[in-house]
Amino acid sequence: MEADVMEIVVFILVTFWHFCYFMNKPSLQKNAADKVRIKYKIQIGCLFLKSLFLFGKLVFKQLFLEMLF
Protein backbone atom coordinates (compact mmCIF):
# COMPACT_ATOMS: atom_id res chain seq x y z
CA MET A 1 0.00 0.00 0.00
CA GLU A 2 2.85 2.41 0.77
CA ALA A 3 4.32 1.87 -2.70
CA ASP A 4 0.99 2.87 -4.25
CA VAL A 5 0.89 6.05 -2.18
CA MET A 6 4.47 6.97 -3.09
CA GLU A 7 3.80 6.29 -6.78
CA ILE A 8 0.77 8.58 -6.75
CA VAL A 9 2.63 11.31 -4.81
CA VAL A 10 5.51 11.23 -7.31
CA PHE A 11 3.02 11.35 -10.19
CA ILE A 12 1.30 14.38 -8.61
CA LEU A 13 4.61 16.20 -8.12
CA VAL A 14 5.84 15.49 -11.67
CA THR A 15 2.50 16.54 -13.16
CA PHE A 16 2.50 19.73 -11.08
CA TRP A 17 6.06 20.52 -12.21
CA HIS A 18 5.07 20.07 -15.87
CA PHE A 19 2.02 22.28 -15.33
CA CYS A 20 4.15 25.06 -13.79
CA TYR A 21 6.76 24.70 -16.55
CA PHE A 22 4.25 25.12 -19.36
CA MET A 23 2.52 28.01 -17.54
CA ASN A 24 5.78 29.99 -17.46
CA LYS A 25 7.40 28.86 -20.73
CA PRO A 26 8.28 31.85 -22.94
CA SER A 27 6.80 31.62 -26.43
CA LEU A 28 8.69 32.42 -29.62
CA GLN A 29 5.77 32.31 -32.03
CA LYS A 30 2.92 33.93 -30.19
CA ASN A 31 -0.18 32.39 -31.82
CA ALA A 32 1.07 28.85 -32.48
CA ALA A 33 2.85 28.60 -29.16
CA ASP A 34 -0.19 29.85 -27.26
CA LYS A 35 -2.40 27.21 -28.87
CA VAL A 36 0.06 24.46 -27.97
CA ARG A 37 0.50 25.84 -24.46
CA ILE A 38 -3.26 25.95 -23.89
CA LYS A 39 -3.54 22.36 -25.14
CA TYR A 40 -0.82 21.22 -22.73
CA LYS A 41 -2.32 23.20 -19.86
CA ILE A 42 -5.64 21.43 -20.35
CA GLN A 43 -4.06 17.97 -20.66
CA ILE A 44 -1.74 18.42 -17.70
CA GLY A 45 -4.49 20.00 -15.60
CA CYS A 46 -6.70 16.97 -16.30
CA LEU A 47 -3.87 14.60 -15.36
CA PHE A 48 -3.28 16.56 -12.15
CA LEU A 49 -6.96 16.38 -11.20
CA LYS A 50 -7.05 12.67 -12.05
CA SER A 51 -4.00 12.02 -9.87
CA LEU A 52 -5.57 13.95 -6.99
CA PHE A 53 -8.74 11.90 -7.39
CA LEU A 54 -6.77 8.63 -7.36
CA PHE A 55 -4.83 9.75 -4.29
CA GLY A 56 -8.05 10.71 -2.50
CA LYS A 57 -9.62 7.39 -3.43
CA LEU A 58 -6.58 5.51 -2.11
CA VAL A 59 -6.56 7.44 1.17
CA PHE A 60 -10.31 6.92 1.58
CA LYS A 61 -9.91 3.16 1.03
CA GLN A 62 -7.11 3.03 3.60
CA LEU A 63 -9.14 4.94 6.19
CA PHE A 64 -12.23 2.84 5.48
CA LEU A 65 -10.26 -0.40 5.91
CA GLU A 66 -8.77 0.88 9.19
CA MET A 67 -12.26 1.64 10.48
CA LEU A 68 -13.51 -1.86 9.60
CA PHE A 69 -10.63 -3.82 11.10
Q: What is the pLDDT of residues 25-52, one digit of tens each?
A: 665 556 666 777 777 777 877 887 888 8
Rounded Cα distance, 64 and 29, in Å: 51
Which residues have C-beta within 8 Å of that of residue 12, sequence separation ≥ 6?
A: 48, 51, 52, 55
- pLDDT > 90 in the chain, percent: 0
Range of the domain at 17: 2-68
Between the CA of residue 58 and those of 20, 33, 49, 53, what are the distances in Å?
Answer: 25, 37, 14, 9
Q: Phi and psi at residue 28, in whole multiples of 5°? A: -90, -50
Number of structural domains the chain divides into: 1
User: Do 44 and 19 contact (CB within 8 A), yes or no?
Assistant: yes
